[in-house]
Amino acid sequence: MMILSKPNSGAHIGANRSVRQIMWQVILALSPATVFGLWCFGWPALNLFIITVTSALFFEAFCIRLQGRAAKPVLMDGSALLTGWLLAMTLPPWAPWWIGVVGSGLAIILGKQVYGGLGQNLFNPAMLARVALLISFPIEMTTWANVSPLFFSHSPGLAESWHITFSGLDNLDAYTGATTLGYIKTEFSQNRVLADIMQDYSPILSFIGWSRGSLGEASTLLLALGGIWLIRAKIITWHIPVALLATVTVLASIFHLADSQHYISPFVHLNSGAMMCVAFFIATDYVTSPNTATGQLVFGAGCGLLIFVIRTWGAYPEGAGFAVLLMNSATPLIDHYIRPRIYGRDRKGKPLEIPKP
């Protein structure tokens, strides 16, 4: 006779997927775009990336230690790594080191741990940090380096990169410029029309990521591929990305058709800024997005609408961060009103009527 332990309830078997695996798969999906972006912007970008991710891990460990718990198992779940990674992807690649450290601190401490840690936060930590940085340090957060790939002659070398990251850039104008969206916004304010503004714009280069911006804004192609892989791997569902992208496309098409000189085309919208990164990686964050498929459609559409509104009429050229944060705050409301119908009950929770024969 065998004697075994205390009562355990079913299910006794489980799907082969843990929190750690999910986090690592998201990171894997991000890595092609990350690697390409790091190559495009060279050593300074790599410095900032490493600083941001390391400090995110440090702040997470610090908070866990404050709670008197062992930090290692919590760090191993990969969530802090992912937060740091996503934050690094939204920063200007040549930003000074302290931007990364402050951003990680904001993301991990203010964005996540004060709410109670993993799964408890209301806002996406990476977006919270990015928006806080953007408002606090507008100069550093809008200084966009030119594409200067590793091992190219005009690109900064390793030693120079240390100087850029830790002491700042000496000759700003030679190495930096505006992002596509920023440029358009500035030119609109000079009363120029799109046909003039977009003369130098190359959709192909922007598509593969050969343009100014953060790592998460650079390569539309690689980010979209990573996102589609995540959907195929069933880490995320199609609802949020499709609803978000479709909303932006539809709105942009309508306005562009109505006035093609003052409203940028849907292709430029989809192809620029953090559109793909937000649609596939940020807005789909489990913790801060709704639970039901319908709720996710509403959430995605809301994000799309806000991005379009902020980009078109707002003060900032890119509105993805704000849009996601605003919709994050609406998530509890969406979850409250949009819930699945319980079997055998109507939407209000009353038992169904027995159909009369």
Partner 1 sequence: MYVLYAIVSLTLLGLVLGLALGIAGKYLKVESSPLVDELEAMLPGSQCGQCGFLGCRPAAEALAEGNAPATICPPGGSTLAEQIAALLGLDLDLSAVKEPELLVARVSEATCTGCTRCFKVCPTDAIVGAPKQIHAVVADACIGCKKCVEVCPTECLQMHPIEITLRNWRWAKPTINPAGNALC
Partner 2 sequence: MLSFFTKARIRGGVHAEEHKAITATQAIVTGFPLPKTLYIPLQQHVGKPAEPLIRVGEQVLKGQLLAYSQGLISAPVHAPSSGVILDVNDYPAPHPSALPIRMIVLETDGKDQWLELPAVADPFQLAPEDISLRVGAAGIVGLGGATFPTAVKLNMGRENHIDTLIINGAECEPYLSCDDRLMQERSDQIIDGVRLMLHGMETGQAIVAIEDNKPQAFNAMLASAQAYPKITVIQIPTRYPMGWDRQLIGYVTGREVPVGSRSSEVGVTIHNVGTAYATHKAIRYGQPLVSRVLTVSGGAVGRPMNVEVPLGTLISEVFDFCGVDARQTARIIMGGPMMGDALPHTGLPTVKATSGLLALTASELKDTDEQPCIRCASCVSVCPAGLRPLDMANNIRVNQLDAAVDIGLKDCISCGCCSYICPSNIPLVQYFKYASGEVAARQQAQHKSEQTKRLMEARNTRLERIAEKQREEEQARIAAKLERERLKAEQEASV
Query: Under the rule (CB under 8 A), what is the footprint of partner 1?
Result: 6-7, 9, 67-70, 73-74, 116-117, 119-120
258 binds, among partner 2, partner 1, none (CB under 5 to 8 A by kind): none
Question: Quick one: which of 171, 186, 183 has its CA closest to 213?
Answer: 183
Within 10 A of 313 (CB to CB), how many other CB atoms are there? 8
DSSP-assigned states of every residue in 18-80? -HHHHHHHHHHHHHHHHHHHHHHHHHHHHHHHHHHHHHHHHHHHHHHHHTTS-HHHHHTTSHH
14 binds, among partner 2, partner 1, none (CB under 5 to 8 A by kind): partner 2
15 binds, among partner 2, partner 1, none (CB under 5 to 8 A by kind): partner 2
Classify 213 as helix, strand or coil.
coil
- What distance in Å separates the CA atoms of residue 252 and residue 179, rounded to the nearest whole number? 19
- For residue 54, report the phi and psi dihedrals to the nearest 5 degrees: -65, -40
What angle do the packed helices 97-105 and 79-90 form, to 10 degrees?
130
Q: Which is nearer to partner 1, 6 or 154 (CB)?
A: 6
**Smallest gap from residue 180 Cβ to partner 2 (A):** 34
Q: Which is nearer to partner 2, 151 or 349 (CB)?
A: 349
- Token pair for 29: 């999906």
**Smallest gap from residue 87 Cβ to partner 2 (A):** 18
1 binds, among partner 2, partner 1, none (CB under 5 to 8 A by kind): partner 2
Amino acid, single-letter form, for residue 235: I
Interface residue list for partner 2 (CB under 8 A)? 1-15, 17-19, 21-22, 77, 79, 117-120, 237, 286-287, 290-293, 335, 339-345, 349, 351-355, 357
Q: 103 and 87 in contact (C-beta within 8 Å)?
A: yes
**Smallest gap from residue 222 Cβ to partner 2 (A):** 25
**Smallest gap from residue 181 Cβ to partner 1 (A):** 39
Q: Which is nearer to partner 1, 43 or 123 (CB)?
A: 123
**Smallest gap from residue 129 Cβ to partner 1 (A):** 23
Within 10 A of 139 (CB to CB), how many other CB atoms are there? 7
